[in-house]
């Protein structure tokens, strides 16, 4: 979309909405990203997506290898407007794509001698993998992982609900990231691309508005 068309489209937004876009984009990051591997309970996918939005994680990756394309049916609270959802049919292609983008693969699991949250190195781009509610991340992810991350636990229970785990981990790591000297912010080009996508999603019949704009320029 060229600059003039985008500026025209933005006239359909309130000043408050445009200001909010700017404020939120300033806090967004792709330094960390989240991957959900064949999560069965749809409300957990919804909850993790909301956590990504709350803590400024721009991308959520969903692997649908065994359970099929189920995620669309229950993504709630409007978070799907603001988060970029990437979908994969198998975990190998997901890991390959993320590694190509410079991410290290981090398996979240209580059953390995991994790092605790306070020990985790936040300076590296990291893709945080969360697995199924009963079995956790797959053996394929555990084998390929560059590292393991766990939440310290002191009771009899050995695991947490996936959405709770994701919220705890993101809150801790993102808070530490923003206090650090790591360059975690989006580039201006990334901000622009996301802002355009948000604008298109927020304006009803945006395609028709742009079509009328193009016709007006040509006449």
What are the start-end ranges of the H helices in 26-161? 42-54, 91-100, 139-144
- If 0-12 CB within 10 Å is exposed, 13-18 middle and 19+ buried, where does residue 116 land? exposed
Q: Where are the domains of the chain?
A: 1-28+185-219, 30-184
Pairing of strands 104-108, 115-116: unpaired
Task: Per residue of the chain (219 residues), give pLDDT as tens.
Answer: 788 889 999 999 999 999 999 999 999 999 999 999 877 666 778 889 999 999 999 999 998 766 555 544 455 456 788 999 998 989 999 999 999 999 999 999 887 788 999 999 999 999 999 987 677 889 999 999 999 999 988 888 877 888 899 999 999 999 999 999 999 999 999 999 999 999 999 998 888 898 888 877 766
CA distance 159 to 92: 25
Both tokens of residue 78?
A: 């409007």
Tens-digit pLDDT profile for residues 117-143: 999 999 999 999 998 767 788 999 999
The architecture (CATH level 2) of 30-184 comes to 3-Layer(aba) Sandwich (3.40)
Which residue is listed with tokens 């298109």? 200
170: number of Cβ within 10 Å:
20
Both tokens of residue 69?
A: 């394309």
């Amino acid at each position: 979309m060229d600059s003039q068309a985008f500026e025209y489209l933005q006239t359909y937004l309130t000043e408050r909405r445009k200001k909010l876009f700017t404020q939120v984009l300033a806090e967004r990051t792709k330094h960390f990203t989240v991957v959900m591997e064949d999560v069965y309970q749809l409300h957990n996918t919804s909850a993790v997506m909301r956590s990504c939005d709350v803590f400024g994680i721009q991308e959520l990756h969903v692997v649908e290898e065994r359970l099929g394309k189920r995620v669309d049916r229950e993504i709630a609270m409007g978070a799907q407007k603001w988060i970029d959802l990437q979908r994969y049919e198998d975990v190998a292609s997901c890991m390959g794509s993320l590694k190509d983008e410079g991410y290290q693969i981090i398996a979240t699991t209580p059953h390995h001698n991994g790092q605790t949250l306070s020990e985790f190195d936040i300076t590296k781009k990291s893709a945080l993998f969360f697995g199924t509610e009963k079995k956790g991340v797959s053996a394929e992810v555990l084998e390929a992982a560059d590292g393991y991350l766990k939440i310290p636990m002191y009771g009899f229970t050995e695991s947490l609900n996936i959405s709770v785990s994701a919220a705890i981990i993101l809150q801790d790591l993102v808070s530490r990231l923003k206090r650090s000297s790591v360059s975690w912010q989006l580039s201006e080009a990334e901000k622009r691309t996301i802002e355009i996508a948000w604008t298109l999603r927020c304006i009803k019949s945006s395609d028709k508005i742009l079509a009328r704009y193009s016709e007006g320029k040509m006449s």
